[in-house]
Amino acid sequence: MDSEGATFERGRMEANVQAICIQDPAGVPDSLKEAAKGVKVKPSDVSYLTQEFLLPTHAAEAALVASGGDVQAAVSRLLRSASA
């Protein structure tokens, strides 16, 4: 227990992180959630897209998921949608 009375349980924390980050990708529209299962999205790629394109995190994540986790394909997709 810490000074505020909270406890730390590593197993419970890891299960919650897995549920949030891997099993149910955050920021992905419902229409893409099934396709997003198993797609690995790197935090560094999300950060790159949010900084370079001034996107909200959920939009960067959705672009990466739609591109199968490939940051170069996500950049191409974003550039095509911006010029359309």
- Note down pLDDT in tens along the chain; length 84 residues: 566 766 667 777 787 777 666 665 555 667 766 766 778 889 999 999 999 999 998 889 889 988 999 999 999 999 998 776
Separation CA 22–CA 38 (nearest Å)? 8
Say which residue the tokens 């994540």 belong to.
Answer: 61
Separation CA 8–CA 42 (nearest Å)? 26
- Which is nearest to 82 in space by CA: 58, 63, 57, 64? 63
Phi then psi for residue 78, to 5 deg, are: -65, -40
**Predicted structure pTM score:** 0.59
Separation CA 58–CA 45 (nearest Å)? 12
